[in-house]
Every structure is written in structure tokens, then in C-alpha cells.
């Protein structure tokens, strides 16, 4: 039976832990010659521009012995009106799996419903679970543990934040989210996570309170792709939510700073912090490659 990876809920805590451990092993060069995807073709469907998602998946699939095939809707018959369901049925006859980076989460769900191959969420407007796997891997690398840590997410309660909420519930770390009124994470995702979590998941307004004694401070851009019409409104509301040296002073002395990139330097994060000794931003970016390789090993049989 095929397995999809649409949200973090598609993996158990034990499976997530195994993927993180495997990703760390892959990064260290363990089984470097192993090619579990040899003879397999993996589709990469992009409705949105991409740097890290595209390159990490293409390189990872190649390193696992497979063939990546990157596509966008304008190159397919989707651009001429073919339904997503029919596209899913057709591509399932050629490919061993497909990663989709899309706008509406419902598009991804429709494709997964009609596909007979594993479908991986490379990003939607509601979730970014591949990023969350890389985040978990990066924290484990630097801190040695996940359970019981305090992670502070500061800024817009977007798709990255939604997936981090599910990650906190799965892996038992405490998550404090600081965001202005009207920019909270998805209420249904938040409630679902709280119902299953053994850890604490809190949403508040004060970024300094959220960062207080935090082990990890995380932020993302204030304006996500497709929200450009809200740029000025969001910048005005979020200007006090910048990750800077004053805010980091509230956290633990060995605090780690994360940002899923791309960054708008000088807006949500300062150069001083992003390039400073607390930053794990570029390790985090690299870890997309290793975490996704471990995920594909599990999904593609």
C-alpha cells in the first residue's frame, strides 16, 4: 500500500525519529554507495519557484540512484485544462513517486487521492513538512535531543509554523509562538496538535516572552509567496517581531537560530544574527537534502 507524506501526521513519532537518525547517518556518509532508487523516476511538480526544495530533491534523488523529472503546470496538459485527477492517474503510470510544491493544500490532497504512487508535500499554503524534518534533524544535531527543549517561533503563523506545531506534538518539545493578532497559525492544526501533545504549545503576543530561556529561536519571512498584496500591512504589524541581538539576549546563552530561507535580511532577521555564532541557518538548509533522502528511502519501495 502506498504511503504519502502530506503532513507530519503521516509519520509516527517512531518513524520520524528513524528518519532523523537515518538522515544524520546519510550526512556522515553512511551507506554512501547504496542506491535504493536505481531504475526509479521521481517527479517534481512545481507551481511555485524554488531554490532549496528543487535542488535538494534533484540532488538527493540522483544520489540515491534515481532520475528526477522536474515539471511545472505550464509544461503539462494541466496548462490546457486537464484535471489534476487525470494528471495524477497518468503520472502514476510512469513515476515511482512525486513531490509537489503547490499553492492550495487542496490541490495536493486531490492529487494524492487519485495517485497510486507516494505523494510528498514539498510545500503548500498550509504545511511545509519536509522543512520540519530538516528542522528536527538540525536541532538534534546541535542539541543532541528534542524532547523537553523550548523552541520559540517568532513572526507570521504560516505554513512553516503549522508544520512546526505538529512536529512539537510528535516529538515532545515545547513550542511558544509569538505573533500579532490576526497572524496566528491555523486554528484547526493548533487544536489537533494540542489534543495529542504531551508538551506545551503556546501562542502569545510578546516576542521577548516567547524567546525567554529558549533553546531555539526560529523565524521565517513575513510575507510568503502569493501574499504580496499584504506586504505593507504585514510589515507594519510584524516590525516588532524581528530576530535581533536584543531579542536573543532573552534566550539561553547557547540558543540556536533557525530560518527556513529565503531570508529578507533587515526585516525578520538581522545580518548580525543570521551570520552570527548562534545561527544554524545554512546547516538547516543543507539538511533538507539529507532528511528528504531518508524520507524517500522509506516511502519508495
Residue of 22, 52, 101, 259 with catalytic role = 101
For the segment 245-255, the average pLDDT, to the nearest whole number, is 98
Structural domain spans, the chain: 8-128+288-299, 131-284
What span, in angstroms and rounded, lies between the C-alpha atoms of 204 and 154? 10
User: Would you call 101 a catalytic residue per the annotation?
Assistant: yes
Which of the pair, 155 or 33, is modelled with greater confidence?
A: 155
Residue of 127, 128, 140, 170 with catalytic role = 128
What span, in angstroms and rounded, lies between the C-alpha atoms of 41 and 250? 48
Residue of 105, 131, 242, 278 with catalytic role = 131
What span, in angstroms and rounded, lies between the C-alpha atoms of 209 and 150? 12
Question: Which pLDDT score is estimated for 1?
Answer: 86
pLDDT at residue 248 tops 80: yes
From 3.40.50.1370, 3.40.50.2030, 3.30.230.10, 3.40.50.880, which CATH number describes the 8-128+288-299 domain?
Answer: 3.40.50.1370
Mean pLDDT score of the chain: 96
pLDDT at residue 229 tops 70: no
Residue of 260, 278, 284, 290 with catalytic role = 260
pLDDT at residue 224 tops 80: no
User: Are the CB atoms for 190 and 36 separated by under 8 Å?
Assistant: no
User: Would you call 128 a catalytic residue per the annotation?
Assistant: yes
Please check whether the domain covering 131-284 is classified as CATH 3.40.50.1370. yes
How open is the CA angle 6-123-166, to the nearest 5 degrees? 55
Phi, psi of 198 (to 5 degrees): -95, -15
User: Would you call 103 a catalytic residue per the annotation?
Assistant: no
Residue of 220, 242, 259, 292 with catalytic role = 220
Q: How confident is the model at residue 33 (pLDDT cuts 50, 70, 90)?
A: confident
- The per-residue pLDDT for range 134-173, each reduced to its tens digit, is 999 999 999 999 999 999 999 999 999 999 999 999 999 9
CA 100 to chain centre: 13
For the segment 14-38, the average pLDDT, to the nearest whole number, is 95
- The per-residue pLDDT for range 58-83, each reduced to its tens digit, is 999 999 999 999 999 999 999 899 99
User: Would you call 288 a catalytic residue per the annotation?
Assistant: yes
User: Would you call 260 a catalytic residue per the annotation?
Assistant: yes
Residue of 105, 288, 290, 292 with catalytic role = 288
Query: 0.75 cut: is pTM over it?
Result: yes
Of the chain, the percentage scoring pLDDT greater than 70 comes to 99
Strand partners, 245: none
- The number of CA neighbours under 13 Å toward the Cβ of 210 is 27
- The per-residue pLDDT for range 113-130, each reduced to its tens digit, is 999 999 999 999 999 999
Q: How confident is the model at residue 11 (pLDDT cuts 50, 70, 90)?
A: very high
pLDDT at residue 216 tops 70: yes
What span, in angstroms and rounded, lies between the C-alpha atoms of 267 and 146? 29
For the segment 235-259, the average pLDDT, to the nearest whole number, is 97
Question: Which pLDDT score is estimated for 158?
Answer: 97
User: Would you call 220 a catalytic residue per the annotation?
Assistant: yes
131-284 matches 8-128+288-299 in CATH topology:
yes
- The per-residue pLDDT for range 269-289, each reduced to its tens digit, is 999 999 999 999 999 999 999
Give which of 76, 47, 5, 1 is closest to 296, Cα–Cα: 5
Amino acid at each position: 500500500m502506498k504511503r504519502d507524506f502530506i503532513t507530519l501526521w503521516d509519520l509516527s513519532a517512531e518513524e520520524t525519529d528513524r528518519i532523523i537518525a537515518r538522515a544524520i547517518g546519510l550526512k556522515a556518509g553512511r551507506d554512501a554507495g547504496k542506491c535504493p532508487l536505481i531504475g526509479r523516476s521521481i517527479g517534481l511538480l512545481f507551481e511555485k519557484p524554488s531554490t532549496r526544495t528543487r535542488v535538494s530533491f534533484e540532488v538527493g534523488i540522483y544520489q540515491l540512484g534515481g532520475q528526477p523529472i522536474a515539471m511545472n503546470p505550464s509544461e503539462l496538459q494541466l496548462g490546457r485544462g486537464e484535471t489534476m485527477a487525470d494528471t495524477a492517474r497518468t503520472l502514476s503510470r510512469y513515476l515511482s513517486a512525486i513531490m509537489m510544491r503547490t499553492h492550495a493544500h487542496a490541490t495536493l490532497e486531490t492529487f494524492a487521492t487519485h495517485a497510486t504512487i507516494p505523494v510528498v508535500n514539498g510545500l503548500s499554503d498550509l504545511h511545509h513538512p519536509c522543512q520540519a524534518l530538516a528542522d528536527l534533524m538540525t536541532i538534534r544535531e546541535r542539541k543532541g535531543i528534542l524532547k523537553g527543549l523550548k523552541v520559540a517561533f517568532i513572526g507570521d503563523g504560516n505554513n512553516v509554523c503549522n508544520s512546526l506545531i505538529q512536529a512539537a506534538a510528535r516529538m515532545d518539545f515545547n513550542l511558544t509562538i509569538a505573533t500579532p493578532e490576526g497572524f496566528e497559525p491555523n486554528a484547526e492544526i493548533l487544536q489537533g496538535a494540542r489534543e495529542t501533545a504531551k508538551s506545551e504549545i503556546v501562542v502569545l503576543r510578546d516576542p521577548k516572552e516567547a524567546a525567554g530561556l529558549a533553546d531555539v529561536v526560529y523565524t521565517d519571512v513575513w510575507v510568503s509567496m502569493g501574499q504580496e498584496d499584504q506586504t505593507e500591512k504585514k510589515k507594519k504589524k510584524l516590525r516588532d517581531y524581528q530576530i535581533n541581538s536584543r531579542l536573543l539576549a532573552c534566550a539561553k546563552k547557547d540558543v540556536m537560530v533557525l530560518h527556513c530561507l529565503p531570508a529578507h535580511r533587515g526585516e525578520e532577521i538581522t545580518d548580525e544574527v543570521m551570520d552570527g555564532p548562534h545561527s544554524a541557518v545554512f546547516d538547516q538548509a543543507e539538511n533538507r537534502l539529507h532528511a528528504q533522502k531518508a524520507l524517500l528511502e522509506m516511502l519508495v519501495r
